[in-house]
A and B are shown apart, each in its own frame.
Chain A
């Protein structure tokens, strides 16, 4: 399809002059996949991996911190933690994200709803805490448990997991890049559908939120509220009533209007969402934690969206608990991490209706996040899920492990023991590069 724009004749010289530099260079593509499409992009190799790390009482300073891992292979400190920006106290460090200009990293705490804003531009090796948002609950009108931080133009979108009552009713909350509150959009429920068509039910839970700009749609997924995610996992799983209070839905939104259009039935706790990148690929994947399935969400015809399970992840009967997924930039390879068996599985998803597992490897005793470079050659893993859900004793391994991927198998590059380094429980990873910030 061609872009047909009227360009007056007198503009031609200017346009050609402007276009000329484009014809010369084709920069390398090596940023992380699975990021907001609005964000500035790393065009070389990543220099650093920032790791939002949950503090452990009695370990180091015991505080949550943003750890910088040196990913420069020529550096004498390659594969080592080189900086830790401690924030003081433990706030159930979980997810975070860069602003659209990638100058700041917003890191959220699930327990007390604080959001910590780090300057990563002034010295990319040493992020610096520059602001704390501590009125998230009050400003948002009652949303709590800020989960991620997703870049929009000049703004950040913060999906919450909970509310001031600790239940699973969740909202999407917008802030300006400067850290000022803008708006709250509550997830639809059966009682308050807000105009959405409901396939089965609307539970109002939240988790991830991701935008496909060219179709003006946003997709959200659903987890559980603070009363569940802050509870020890063993206790929780014995509580049949509490176990009913988990997400069973995904919501398709009119992004520009911020209005829910369809509540899709996706039972089993759909978590991370990954839109395909291809310009004709109007679909997304998610995985369901409790039923261990891969789901495909697709626009079947303009404005008509559906969700269907397309593959099982491991043996669902053994409750592997898929937690994070990462889609390659060419939409052909999907990495899926399962927490309980500490295993990463790689699926060929070139036919999105029929994912086919092509590889698996046990990374550790427990496993959570996976991030891959844009060229698909470098894969990073971390171990921690939630303070009260991580395994205990010898199985409480806390690590970042880096691998190379050649399309067939993973080969170790380096590993960091976050307990031995007295850092804490590593969770969300994000790539940094000094080249983003020209002198």
Chain B
């Protein structure tokens, strides 16, 4: 497990980032307690997650600088199963640190169910290739990734350049606009991708609640084929 919590710092970050988020989106991010979600989580399999669209691959670099495909499962520990993909950049001053903290909590929570952890993986992809080199992503990963062997794999990827990144962002509908002082304006989204390579949910920060995401993953795995079984949810 990770070192002990620094709750004061976390609270400061949360409150400051929460107010700053107002500049980007209407949603207000009420702080959520660690132990429980802000609302009841539905039972796994009690609802459906209809396919939204195909999940795109694309040429990216892993933490060692090796060229790989975004969704290809040839990395150690990748396993098979469900992917949670978060798009961020490491210099981000508002929503991205909160999203990475949620990914970390998701990794910790999943580690408590090793059988589930083996059937899922986390991917963080940077959309700031000029700054977020594989070296930067490697040190970023060292700060966030759990060392718990029971935790699901979490890889940190970046693109070799903007040309390689553009089709990936287009496929996921992720707009990134350069603002003043190097800020990259974007609306945070994370994607739940089933074993068949289809997007089954898209999360804003409000619904990027680790317990809820794990329930979605269990729902997909209970679904077997991951097809969702027809129209509706």
Contact = CB atoms under 8 A, between A and B. Distances in A.
A437 interface: yes
B67 interface: no
Interface in B9-29: 9-20, 22-28
B33 interface: yes
A19 B92 contact: no
B202 A155 contact: yes
Nearest to A437: B177
Nearest to A258: B233
Given A4-B33, A19-B16, A185 B233 contact: yes
Given A41-B25, A184-B231, A215-B39, A4 B93 contact: no
A184 B42 CA distance: 20
A32 to B, nearest CB: 9
Q: Which 6 A-B pairs have the closest CB atoms?
A: A3-B31, A3-B14, A21-B93, A154-B202, A257-B47, A216-B39
B30 interface: yes
A256 interface: yes
A19 B97 CA distance: 8
B207 A2 contact: no
B105 A6 contact: yes
Nearest to B105: A5
A257 B233 contact: yes
A2 B31 contact: yes
Contacts of A174: 50
Interface in A8-41: 8-16, 18-23, 25-27, 29, 31, 35-41
B34 A41 contact: no
A39 B28 CA distance: 11
Interface stretch (A175-183, A382-390, A394-402, A412-420): A175-183
Interface stretch (B125-133, B139-147, B152-160): B139-147
* Most A-side CB within 10 Å, residue of B2, B179, B212: B2
Contact of B9 (A7, A40, A213, A279): A7
Given A155-B52, A213-B206, A438-B177, A257 B25 contact: no
B23 A41 contact: yes
A360 interface: no
Interface of A is mostly: loop
Given A41-B24, A185-B232, A256 B212 contact: yes
A254 B215 CA distance: 15
A26 B16 CA distance: 10
Interface of A: 1-16, 18-23, 25-27, 29, 31, 35-41, 43, 100-101, 103, 121, 141, 152-155, 174, 176-178, 180, 182-185, 213-217, 254, 256-259, 277, 279, 302-303, 437-439
B20 A22 contact: yes
A343 B69 CA distance: 60
Interface string B57-94: 00000000000000000000000000000000011111
B173 interface: yes
Interface in B155-183: 173, 175, 177-179, 181, 183
Interface string B189-219: 1000000000100111011000010000000
* Most B-side CB within 10 Å, residue of A5, A8, A180, A259: A5
Given A153-B204, A177-B173, A19 B5 contact: no
Given A101-B173, A153-B189, 11 more contacts: A1-B30, A3-B18, A3-B31, A4-B33, A5-B14, A152-B202, A153-B187, A176-B173, A184-B232, A256-B207, A437-B177
Given A37-B27, A40-B187, A7 B47 contact: no
B90 to A, nearest CB: 8
Given A18-B97, A40-B187, A3 B175 contact: no
13 contacts: A3-B14, A7-B10, A8-B3, A9-B4, A14-B90, A18-B93, A21-B94, A21-B181, A21-B183, A36-B26, A37-B206, A153-B203, A302-B40
Contacts of B16: 19, 22-23
Contacts of A438: 177-179, 185
Contacts, number: 205
A128 B82 CA distance: 38
B49 to A, nearest CB: 9
A141 B104 CA distance: 40
A176 B10 contact: no
A9 B33 contact: no
Contacts of A20: 93
Contact of B11 (A3, A177, A183, A439): A3
Given A6-B108, A18-B91, A18-B96, A183 B28 contact: no
Contacts of B222: none
A215 B30 CA distance: 10
Contact of A19 (B13, B39, B232): B13
A263 B147 CA distance: 48
Nearest to A36: B26
A236 B147 CA distance: 69
A6 to B, nearest CB: 4
* Most B-side CB within 10 Å, residue of A2, A10, A26, A121: A2
A119 to B, nearest CB: 12
Contact of A39 (B11, B12, B25, B53): B25
Contacts of B28: 37, 214, 277, 279
Given A10-B143, A29-B22, A3 B42 contact: no
A399 to B, nearest CB: 28
* Most A-side CB within 10 Å, residue of B24, B28, B97: B97
A38 B187 CA distance: 9
A2 B34 contact: no
Given A38-B27, A257-B47, A303-B40, A5 B207 contact: no
A23 B173 CA distance: 30
Contact of B187 (A12, A26, A29, A100): A100
Contacts of A23: 16
Contacts of A215: 38-39
